[in-house]
Structure 1
Amino acid sequence: MVTTCPYCGVGCQIAPEAREGRILRVLAPEHLPPNHGALCVKGRFGLDYALSQKRLLFPMLRERKGAPLRRASWEEALDYAAFRLAEILRRHGGEAVAVFPSAKTTNEEVYLAQKLARTLLKTNNVDHCSRLCHSSSTAALSRSLGGASMTNPLEDIWRTDLFVVVGSNTTETHPVIGAMIKKRVRQGARLVVIDPRYTGMAEAAHLWLRLRPGTDVFLLNAMARLILEEGLWDRAYVEERTEGFGEWAESLKPYTLERAEEVTGVEAGLIREAARLYATTPRAGLYWAMGVTQHTKGTATAQALVNLALLTGHVGREGAGLNPLRGQNNVQGAGDMGALPNVFPGYVPVEPETARRFGAAWGTWVPDKPGLYMTEVFERIPEVRAVYLIGEDPMTSEPFQDHTKKALEGLEFLIVQDILENETTPFADVVFPAASSLEKEGTFTNTDRRVQQVRRILDPPGEARPDLWITGELGRRLARLLGEPWKELATPEAVWNEVRSLLPGMMGGITYARLEAEGVRWPCPREDHLGEGVLFRERFNTPSGRARFFPAEYHPPAEPPDDRYPFTLSTGRVLFHWHGGTMSRNSRLEAAYPELKVEVNPKDAGRLGIQDGERIALVSRRGRIVARAWVTDRTPEGVVYAPFHFAEAPANRLTLNAYDPISRIPEYKVAAVRLEKLD
């Protein structure tokens, strides 16, 4: 039985072999895209999280604050949750409620959760974990191109002659894509890497631009200015297919190579060489991840990448494009399904006219003003009184965790719906045990827009149920209490067909019957359509049909190092774990990387007398954690790198709640810390 890997956004097709409720091994069909038989360590050895002793096996509820969680039946827990939500809605309105669907769940489950929020709870306070990873990319791509996804398919890697990889540790975070790029480089393509750390991609690069953390905007703008000055830009493309060029070009005046060298620490000659190489290579693709987006200027950095690609005519062309590598397995699909506060399904903006259209389709009034972002919701408690969390763990993922803890303690009502106990479960008033993606049916959408089937391999343990069933049953009860319509959609396929009817140009041609063979990429308007590979070949999805340049202004990081906190902390991932570690740390992968190791440059370690492997403390203005020192020159002098997978030593206890002004993404990549020797 073939299904889709539940870890990252590559969407690898896997064939787990199960017997008596156990996974014996995991294979990968060589004939199926996108991975064609390749798997990383997480896909190969990380699926036994489904058998963890920490699985949530039955519903629980807490009848009053301070009382313990107790076991409940599904009927009691669902009735109680619906009653409490309806009570808060009647007293305070939809603005006091928020729903966070999960990018780990299926398209169908995300769609139903956002529909419940909008039609029953009357709120657009709907968001998901993209707010913490690629919301900056979504903001920049949407306003410039009219779309929020990779513009090119993964198979275009084999047609690419130059890769520019910015802020992406691809070999560890998206290993199958990293392996594809490195193989193409061995075939003759060139690779430019822009990253402060010496990653596996930097090791394979022809040019490695080791910039100071948080200075990407300045470097990218300097590249664009040089391309303009040397006449290397695609004038015909810019004149025929873009707008806003003049104002943007004027904004580049401060970004000289000399000043870029001062700000970024990268030699002017390297910046010049990278710019010339990108401008003069017809098939050049930009690839990026969290190193671009998780900054207070994440949108500006993503915008600088968009501007660079438009300037050189690299959008709408095979082997090129703008390619954000999405994190979670279904984070692309969660955005597609409308799990965002400012758009309905299909990225339709929340406005009075569109709200009337979706309301008519759903048979009820829906709110017509954008809601709160996830990060804003936690800032607005106790004005926000109820939160329905599906597969989200804010006590691990949110910045400045002590602040998040106080917010959750002040929340009137919290529903946690998840597969495993996590750091947020103790704050819940109701806990719903959910089935994992190995225990249900549906679809995921991978990073290059390919919709693929999820098939049931195992039975759910205990009383766990699919998220679709849980949300559907909660919706049925809410509808009865509130006197609202609620169309019962009993199967994933029934939900998907409703999505297709709402988004005919995007999803209309993608049927479950077609997905039996292999995934289909959107947009796919008809059943005889193959699905679009390269987007924007002829026009952009904007009112004018043209892409738009926007100035991308550089600002220093929100919290630079100083005498008291002299190091820059940057957070990220490692090969063996994934995000908050809920899945990977409950699998055999935990044995390969069981504790937090913080990368410290040898020169810094020497000055502080820190030995490799000894315990150290990291201290910021917000908190303190203890970890093992890994003395390595992978990380530059003055910078320490901490993975954020470890609840017992949470890196996000140290990060700050400073946000991008447009995307509201937190500043995860730059925080001021000091190191303290313990041993």
Structure 2
Amino acid sequence: MRTTCPYCGVGCQVEPEVQGGRIVRVLAPDIPPNHGALCVKGRFGLDFPFSKKRLLYPMVRESRNVPFRRATWEEALDFAAEKLLEALRRKGPEGLAVFPSAKTTNEEVYLAQKLARALLGTHNVDHCSRLCHSSSTAALSRSLGGASMTNPLEDIWKTDLFLVVGSNTTETHPVIAAMIKKRVRQGARMVVVDPRYTGMAEAATLWLRVRPGTDLFLLNAMARYILEAGLWDRAYVEARTEGFAEWQASLEEYTLERAEAITGVEREKIALAARLYATTERAGAYWAMGVTQHTKGTATAQALVNLALLTGKVGKEGAGLNPLRGQNNVQGAGDMGALPDVYPGYLKVAEEAARKRFEALWGVPLNPKPGLRMTEVFEAIPEVEAIYLIGEDPVTSEPYQDHLKAKLASLPFLIVQDILENETTPFAHVVLPAASFLEKEGTFTNTDRRVQRVRRLLDPPGEARPDWWITQELGRRLAQALGRPWRVYPGPEGIWEEVRQAIPELMGGITYARLVEEGVRWPCPHEDHPGEAVLFRERFNTPSGRARFFPAPYAPPAEPPSEDYPFTLSTGRVLFHWHGGTLSRNSRLQEAYPELKVEVNPKDAARLGLQDGEPIYVVSRRGRIRAKAWVTERTPEGVVYAPFHFAEAPANRLTLDALDPISRIPEYKVSAVRLEKVD
């Protein structure tokens, strides 16, 4: 039976064959988006539901000073509801938070944010996008009025130039990388901006090896060069944009000479990249965490938006602005309203019309005040007294791990709802066992807005239940106590029908019946609509219908190297694992990549007397971890690269918790560290 891969945002269609309660092989149908292709995670990493670390029954405890005890579902849900209500009475809606999961289905995310808003009265709702593409969301939303890829993945075959910035696509989105590389072999060109010699850099026509954290200066310098060379699309700018004059005036300092000094990239290469992008009609920009995970992440994403608008690249086939989304349903989680300032469909919490729409739908008055972002919620503990955490592992994924642990230890009440034990489970008061992607129905939305089915192949083990059922039952208890309406759904399709009713302009035409063979992209306002492939062909989703330029001022990273900490640490992923490793390290993939290896440039290794494979300590102002040195040219001098998948050697023990002022995303890509030999 066909379902959707639970790893990255490509949304590959997979057909796992199950025998004797185990996956024996995974096939892939020749349909979009992957057309039969799979990466190593989709092919060999889907067996995590059979891990010995599966959570099999509910557990509760009154305090962290006592061990968990097994509980019935009735007891666990009653206890969870009671504690949430106590926190609500003491602190009000601002004292609670609900974090849905980008690993769960659209239906489950919708229900979780509905519980937070309609029952608890709080907009303290967020998800892991805060740690990955919240910077992109902020920039795209304010400029274009939308927060997604503007173009479909099929447009890769129509693209003549790829501008790939801060994306290790070969390892993080391998199926997309294979498509892009094939298109390059067919004659397209590719400009890659990345400090590391990734698989994309290897295939590039032009590789710009920027210093970590300086992409923003480079992009602004490209824009200034395009303006001065007269290569910009004046007709497009005049007809379809606003804010141009103010933005143009902000570019004065971004000369090629200064760009070379700050980024380390030769001015001739910067000029060439600018010319290639400006003069190629079908040029598409693709980016990921190397753009967003900085204190200037929103500004860097904004610089990409400005560059595309300047050259008339938005609203056209084979071009556009294309953030490659991380989690399997992180696009869907945003679409479903798992953000503190928007309802489903990105309707703003602060706007009266949006509030009235959902008050009418849900039958309750709603809070007009936007909530706290995830990173702000943790800092607000213990004023935030209770958190309902679904499918997230903040101990592994948040920066400055020791500080985060101290915060969680002071949190009066925590519900953890997940499929596997993780590093956050020990901080919980209630643990609720959830069903995996193989054990439930629903939909995921992939990186290019394609809504696709998730189908149940197996029964959940033990007493595990689908997330939608757990949230529904918890909501039923809260609603009864609060005297508020709460709809009980027969299944995920019933929830989806409410989503269609809530945001018909995006999802009105997408039914389960239409998703039997292939997915359908939003916006899809009615059942005869095919789903929009290219966004903003005629107008932008802004009040004026025009896109807006915004200045994107550069500032250096918050923690530069120093005498005591002379290296820049950058964190990221590897091909064989995914994010915090909860899924991939409980699969066969763990055998292929069992431990942390930190990339060190050969010249740095020689100066320190390090050998390849030698154990080392990586030390920052916040902590220390032990790893093996991987001596490689992939990483430039003065930079070390550490994947963050390994709980026993957590890279996020080292990372800085400085935040972007707009998106509040942490600066994962630049932290100052030193390397020490292990005696």
Give the Å deviation of 1:357.
2.3
- Once the two structures are TM-superposed, the CA of residue 493 in structure 1 deviates from its matched residue by 0.5
TM-score with structure 1 setting the length: 0.99
Q: Quote the residue 1:486 is aligned against.
A: 486
CA distance in 2, matches of 1:149, 1:158: 20
Separation in structure 2 between the aligned mates of residue 183 and residue 247 of structure 1, nearest angstrom: 40
- CA apart distance, 1:338: 0.1
Residue 167 of structure 1 is matched in structure 2 by 166
Partner SS for 2:551: coil
| Partner of residue 206, structure 1 | 205
The within-5 A match list for 1:30-429 is 30=30, 32-353=31-352, 354-429=354-429
After TM superposition, give the deviation of residue 65 of structure 1 in Å.
3.6
| Separation (CA, whole Å) in 2 of partners of 1:505 and 1:401 | 41
For residues 19-75 of structure 1, what are the alpha-carbon distances to aligned partners after superposition, in whole Å with 9 as ceiling and x for unaligned? 121111000001x10000000000000011010000000000012341111110000
TM-score, with structure 2 as normaliser: 0.99
Distance 2:636 2:459 in 1: 47
What whole-Å deviation, never above 9, does each CA across 1:301-330 have from its counterpart, x for those lacking one? 000000000000000000000000000000
> What is the SS of the residue equivalent to 1:18?
strand
Q: 1:246 Cα shift?
A: 0.1
CA contact (8 A) 2:569 2:642 kept: yes
Return the alpha-carbon distance in structure 2 between the equivalents of residues 187 and 530 of structure 1.
29
Partner deviation per Cα, 1:182-201 (whole Å, 9 max, x = no partner): 00000000010000000000
Aligned residue for 1:635?
Answer: 635
Q: Is the 8 A contact 1:565 1:674 kept in 2?
A: yes
**1:284·1:319 contact (CA, 8 Å) conserved in 2?**
yes
Distance (Å, rounded) in 1 between the aligned partners of 2:343 and 2:483: 23
Flag structure 2 segments of 5+ consecutive residues without an equivalent: none
Q: Partner letter of residue 384 of structure 1? A: V
Which string of whole-angstrom CA distances, capped at 9 and with x for unpartnered residues, describes residues 442-494 of structure 1? 00000000000000112111000000000000000111111111011121110
Report the Cα distance in structure 1 between the residues aligned to 2:666 and 2:367, rounded to whole angstroms: 27
CA displacement 1:246-267 (0-9 Å, x = unmatched): 0000000000000000000000
Q: Distance in 1 between matches of 2:449 and 2:162?
A: 20
In 2: Cα distance, 1:541 partner to 1:482 partner? 38
Structure 1 distance, partners of 2:496, 2:212, is 42
Secondary structure of 2:657 counterpart: strand
Q: In structure 2, the residue corresponding to 1:141 is in which secondary structure? A: helix
Matches within 5 A, 1:459-608: 459-608=459-608
Matches of 2:541 and 2:357 in 1, distance apart? 20
What whole-Å deviation, never above 9, does each CA across 1:220-268 have from its counterpart, x for those lacking one? 0000000000000000000000000000000000000000000000000
Q: Residues of 1 paired with 2:356 and 2:323: CA distance?
A: 32
Taking only aligned residues, the RMSD between alpha carbons, in angstroms, comes to 0.6
What is the 5 A alignment of 1:648-667? 648-667=648-667
Residue by residue, what CA displacement relative to the aligned partner does 1:412-460 show, whole Å, maximum 9, x if unpaired? 0000000000000000000000000111000000000000000011211
Q: Using the alignment, how far apart are the partners of 1:338 and 1:503 within structure 2? A: 11
Corresponding pairs, count: 678
Most deviating of 64-73 and 444-453? 64-73
Shift of the alpha carbon at 1:119? Answer: 0.6
Cα deviations by residue, 1:200-225 (Å, 9 ceiling, x for unpaired): 00000010000000001100000000
Q: Secondary structure of 1:349's match?
A: coil
Native 8 Å contact 2:218 2:270 kept in 1: yes
Is the contact between residue 83 and residue 481 of structure 1 (CA under 8 Å) also seen in structure 2? no
Q: Which amino acid aligns with 1:243?
A: E
Give distance in 2, aligned partners of 1:483 and 1:531. Answer: 40
1:275-305: CA deviation from partner (whole Å, max 9, x where unpaired) = 0000000000000000000000000000000
Report the equivalent of 2:12.
12
- In 1, the alpha carbon distance for the partners of 2:26 and 2:71 equals 36
- Residues 91 and 383 in structure 2, CA contact (< 8 A), matched pair in contact too: no
User: Which position in structure 2 is the counterpart of 1:617?
Assistant: 617
After superposition, what is the alpha-carbon deviation per residue over 1:109-156, rounded to whole angstroms, capped at 9, x for unaligned?
000000000011110000000000000000000000000000000000
Q: Deviations over 1:542-592 (max 9, x none)?
A: 000000000000000000000000000000000000000000000000000
Aligned residues of 1:352 and 1:369 also touching (Cα < 8 A): no
Q: Partner letter of residue 333 of structure 2? A: A
Code of the residue aligned with 2:171 in structure 1: it is: E
Tell me by how many angstroms 1:534 deviates. 0.3
Task: Give the Cα–Cα distance (whole angstroms) in 2 for the partners of residues 591 and 242 of structure 1.
Answer: 52
Structure 1 alignment gaps of length 5 or more: none
Paired residue secondary structure (1:80): helix
Question: 1:352 Cα deviation (Å)?
Answer: 5.0
CA–CA distance in 2 between the matches of 1:618 and 1:447?
Answer: 34
What is the rounded CA distance, in whole Å, between the counterparts of 1:352 and 1:68 in structure 2?
46
